Amino acid sequence: MLKPTTTTAADERVVGVPEPASMAGESGERMVATVGRAVAVLTALAESPRDLGTNELARLTGINASSVSRVLATLARDELVRRVPDNGRYRLGLRLVQLGNAALARVDVREVVRPHLVALTAATGETSTLSIPGEHTTMTVDYVQSPSSVRSVAEIGRPSVPHATATGKVFLAHGGRMPEGALAAFTPRTVTDRRELNRQLSIVRAHGWAEALGEREEDLHAIAAPVLDSRGGLVAILGLQGPAARFHAGAMRAGAEELLRHTVALSPRVAG
């Protein structure tokens, strides 16, 4: 004798009955969390000067080791990270170079600004940089290295520290988001008092340029000035940086004059 079949909630889901909205929402939240973990792992690898193992990444990101392992496996499959056979540790993968170059290719301002970077370095002897503002900070997208044997080394893709770099202070002075929580000290000269930082930002707006004197890295001085659009919005930031012993107060003032001359010339060309 045949028994009547009963249909369970699980059966209904299998045959295509839509999930309740709450379950779909939970699935979406899990996906966002997974992406967040992947970003945290990639960021930790990018900020480390050496290859990192699973447990090290877990400690740096605050994510449990098993989750980090799963994230690494997924990223490695798509060549976003690479496992080093000799030591079993991980480093960033070459696919990120492709993605980064694709992003930079869309930053048309680099082509316009490049001659100005060359001219700035020729005039001052120091490393010149171009940074683009983002939501939380700025990032270096181009530079011209100083010809001196003792010099400051810039890095494409390196983000600024808003309260501890000249480009970061320009960013904050022109509408950038202030860091949350306590301001981290990178050197004894880092500005960690918000009132002092706000005072400096007022000076940046008044003078048109910012300076950082050994605030992110000891013995490194830097200045920066904004490239603004017709509405006063921040489009880009030009910077100069050099060893403190050579890029002293007088050299920085002369460099600031050069920076301002070039930012004024650039503003109508990149304002868009």
Predicted structure pTM score: 0.65
**pLDDT at residue 18, as a whole number:** 52
Residue 6 scores a pLDDT above 50:
no
> How many other C-beta atoms lie within 10 A of the C-beta of residue 140?
19
**Does 257 map to a domain?**
yes
E strand segments, 27-172: 81-83, 90-92, 127-133, 138-144
Number of folded domains in the chain? Answer: 2
Matching residue, tokens 């960021």: 43
Quick: pLDDT tens for 155-176.
Answer: 888 889 999 999 999 999 999 9
**Does 203 map to a domain?**
yes
Averaged over 117-145, what is the pLDDT? 94
CATH of residue 249's domain is: 3.30.450.40
pLDDT higher at 99 or 191: 191
Q: Same domain, yes or no, for 63 and 147?
A: no
E strand segments, the chain: 81-83, 90-92, 127-133, 138-144, 210-213, 220-228, 234-243
Q: Same domain, yes or no, for 200 and 93?
A: no
pLDDT-based confidence at 250, cuts 50/70/90?
A: very high
Range name among 30-39, 100-109, 136-145, 186-195 with the lowest pLDDT average: 100-109
Q: Same domain, yes or no, for 218 and 90?
A: no
Average pLDDT, the chain: 86
**Does 168 map to a domain?**
yes
Residues of the domain holding 111: 107-270
Q: Same domain, yes or no, for 39 and 127?
A: no
Q: Same domain, yes or no, for 112 and 238?
A: yes
The answer to whether the beta carbons of residues 203 and 165 sit under 8 Å apart is no
Q: Same domain, yes or no, for 70 and 27?
A: yes
Averaged over 87-116, what is the pLDDT? 84
**pLDDT at residue 209, as a whole number:** 97
pLDDT-based confidence at 267, cuts 50/70/90?
A: confident
Q: Same domain, yes or no, for 266 and 246?
A: yes
Q: Same domain, yes or no, for 180 and 59?
A: no
Q: Same domain, yes or no, for 93 and 152?
A: no
Alpha carbon dihedral 36, 168, 100, 70, in 10-degree steps, equals: -20
Q: Same domain, yes or no, for 151 and 60?
A: no
pLDDT-based confidence at 216, cuts 50/70/90?
A: very high
Averaged over 125-134, what is the pLDDT? 94
Q: Same domain, yes or no, for 40 and 66?
A: yes
